[in-house]
Chain A
Amino acid sequence: MMTNTQDIQFSKEAMEKVQKIISRYPSDRKKSALIPILHIAQAEFDGWLSPQTMDYVASILNIQSIEVYEVASFYSMFNLEPVGNCLIEVCRTSSCWLCGAEDIIDHIENKLGISVGETTPDGMFTLKAVECLGSCGTAPMMQVGADYHENLTIEKVDNLFDQFRNENKKSRYC
């Protein structure tokens, strides 16, 4: 069922980006723009994709809502539930594990008082453990929104979190 999408609108700048992306594909293949547009939507609307946001994207591309849902639910970068201002994703696959990723995850859990998959009560941080992000030579690492932080040590993590708190940081998604 279509949800009312009247309240959801891209900003002028975002809409310009969306139109530019759509122009990259043959006119009968606009659906190709779906994934890039979902990234823009996530960046515009608090770091996650609500059903209303997805319906809005469907209306822009003139496709069925289900075509957006099935794609959004397939790719791990799309958040289908609200996330904290700062989305912290720590890699835990082989090379990062070999270089101490679990100590980093433990430390962040203790520091924030939450477990992997949870958001702090103040809505500031969401912590996730993720699979290989292509940073194996600079392990361990974490991604915060679109930003890579590599060669992590406990001390480096502490400094980063101090910085995030001081800046009242909101993740940048694209």
Chain B
Amino acid sequence: MSKKLLLKNDHIPGINTLATYKENGGYAVLTNALKNLSPDAIVEEVKKSGLRGRGGAGFPTGMKWSFLAKPEGVPRYLVCNADESEPGTFKDRYLMERIPHLLVEGMILSSFALGANTSYIYIRGEYFYVANILEKAIDEAYQAGYLGKNILGTGFNLDLYVQVGAGAYICGEETALLESLEGKRGNPRIKPPFPAVAGLYGCPTVVNNVETIAAVVPIIEMGGEEYAKIGIGKSTGTKLISASGHINKPGVYEIELGLPVEEFIYSEEWCGGIRGGRKMKAVVAGGSSVPILPTELILKTVNGEPRLMSYESLGDGGFISGTMLGSGGFIVMDEETSIVKNLYTFSRFYHHESCGQCSPCREGIGWMERILEKILDGRGTLADIDLLWDIQSKIEGKTICPLGEAAAWPVAAAIRHFRPEFEAYVTNPDSIKDIKHYYRLKN
């Protein structure tokens, strides 16, 4: 199942340069499409492909594109979301670093399809060196006539710019990203209106993840119908998975959707099994915000069917026994991992990253972090576990943006599947050695 569409050439030395990228077929799809396809025909192919947003939400890309308002005389924008910040996720960084021209080609192709003449790639500030790689690729594309005025003699004009952020997870939320791109604090906007109607500078805007935009290139190359044959069911195509944690071979892997989870974890082709020959305890399959699952539930659904790397199979059982594919940030934990401590790092993260607009998120996540700190410190009570459950349930669905859910879900899932471990921390605190040192707690 090693079908490669995005990373088929990532091993070729110099593939980050325009010359080598072109030698390996780069910009051929764009050249052909600009000359032979209409913008609407490209949108149609993307719809047929079944491509779903690769940033985490999994919303059908073609449908998102078709929502774009097209009032006369108003500019439209395409903005690439390269603010990759979901803990456990580092695939976009890899793609941009290795094959920057694939993203640039995808941006030009998608801008043409959407009728955008100015497009931005908003990249997280910490990826400075990646932004420099992209700038270089964009300069090369301008020189070769793929960007600028009258591209390849077609009359299509496009300027493409890189914009760096400055350290804010929330800017991965598309309306916060647009605020940031306008030079403001990254406070998510109330929706509606959606960016498709009023986005950047109040104009119709599409925001797509790096991997989503890169996938448009192979989709137009092979046609939407062919692309839709790859993968399984409504999970079409391939997906980049960022694998990390206690595995032998961490890294970025392109998989065909539908690969069995067990094969992904244990095969030498992918993660290569658990480090040190230990047993696996749990997996966070789609980035920090998706529910953690214990080994038995990540390998098989409650019906005993093998769990597959797809939107539907990972979601099988809902949040009672399933999880989400999310961003593909696949974090594996071995048998010695403390689920409570790992959860604490998540809550600390979300508390730090809350923009502060909505009280349930701003206050509630801080409460969860402090209660977890108390439990880890050996001062927790059984009532604290119930309180944690209560707080997360009162954050979910009560905030402007999904950061509230992103913070609540991991807490709910950890308690749902590992409650005895929380209880052990509370009822037998002496068993926790040196926790203050380990967690850098005060006192």
Interface set of A (CB-CB < 8 Å, partner B):
24, 26, 29, 31-36, 38-39, 61, 67, 70-71, 74-78, 92-95, 97-99, 102, 105, 116, 129, 131-139, 143, 146-148, 173-174
B183 x A75 contact (CB < 8 A):
no
Q: Which of the residues B166, B183, B184, B341 comes within 8 Å of A97, measured between beta carbons? A: B341
- Whether B78 sits at the interface, judged by CB under 8 Å, is no
Contact A134 to B89, CB < 8 A, known contacts A32-B183, A94-B284 = yes
Q: Which of the residues A32, A35, A136, A174 comes within 8 Å of B165, measured between beta carbons? A: A35
Binds A, one of B5-13, B242-250, B392-400: B242-250
Q: Is the interface of A mostly helix, strand, loop or mixed?
A: mixed
Give the A-B contact count at a CB cut-off of 8 A: 147
A77 x B166 contact (CB < 8 A):
yes
Q: Which of the residues B127, B243, B337, B342 comes within 8 Å of A137, measured between beta carbons? A: B243
Alpha-carbon separation in the docked complex, A76 to B165 (Å): 10
Report chain A residues within 8 Å CB of B180: 35
Binds A, one of B149-157, B216-224, B345-353, B420-428: B345-353
Contact residues, B237-271 vs A (CB, 8 A)? 242-246, 250-252
Report chain A residues within 8 Å CB of B341: 97
- Whether B363 sits at the interface, judged by CB under 8 Å, is no
B181 x A94 contact (CB < 8 A):
no
Report chain B residues within 8 Å CB of A78: 166-167
- Whether B128 sits at the interface, judged by CB under 8 Å, is yes
Report chain B residues within 8 Å CB of A173: 128
- Whether B329 sits at the interface, judged by CB under 8 Å, is yes
A75 x B166 contact (CB < 8 A):
yes
Instruction: List 6 other contacts, CB 8 Å, given A93-B288, A134-B89.
Output: A31-B183, A76-B168, A95-B88, A129-B440, A131-B348, A136-B250
Which one of B167, B353, B438 has the greatest number of beta carbons of chain A within 10 Å? B167
A35 x B89 contact (CB < 8 A):
no
Report chain B residues within 8 Å CB of A132: 85-88, 169, 288, 349
Which one of B185, B242, B438 has the greatest number of beta carbons of chain A within 10 Å? B185
A97 x B345 contact (CB < 8 A):
yes
- Whether B381 sits at the interface, judged by CB under 8 Å, is no
Alpha-carbon separation in the docked complex, A112 to B351 (Å): 28
Contact A93 to B345, CB < 8 A, known contacts A26-B201, A35-B164, A136-B87 = yes
Report chain A residues within 8 Å CB of B353: 131
Give chain B nearest CB distance to A78 CB in angstroms: 6
Report chain A residues within 8 Å CB of B242: 136-137
Contact A146 to B163, CB < 8 A, known contacts A71-B183, A136-B250, A137-B243 = no
A74 x B245 contact (CB < 8 A):
no
Beta-carbon contacts of B293-325 to A below 8 Å, as 1s and 0s?
Answer: 000000000000000000000000000000000
- Whether B225 sits at the interface, judged by CB under 8 Å, is no
B166 x A116 contact (CB < 8 A):
no
Give chain A nearest CB distance to B378 CB in angstroms: 18
Give chain A nearest CB distance to B400 CB in angstroms: 16
B125 x A77 contact (CB < 8 A):
yes
Q: Which of the residues B129, B349, B438 comes within 8 Å of A146, measured between beta carbons? A: B129
A93 x B183 contact (CB < 8 A):
no
Report chain A residues within 8 Å CB of B93: 134
Q: Which of the residues A76, A94, A148 comes within 8 Å of B129, measured between beta carbons? A: A148
B126 x A143 contact (CB < 8 A):
yes
| A to B CB contacts below 8 Å, 21 in the list | A24-B159, A24-B161, A32-B163, A33-B183, A36-B163, A75-B166, A75-B168, A94-B245, A94-B331, A95-B87, A95-B331, A97-B345, A98-B337, A99-B245, A129-B440, A132-B86, A132-B88, A134-B93, A134-B126, A138-B250, A173-B128
Alpha-carbon separation in the docked complex, A74 to B183 (Å): 11
Alpha-carbon separation in the docked complex, A98 to B440 (Å): 15
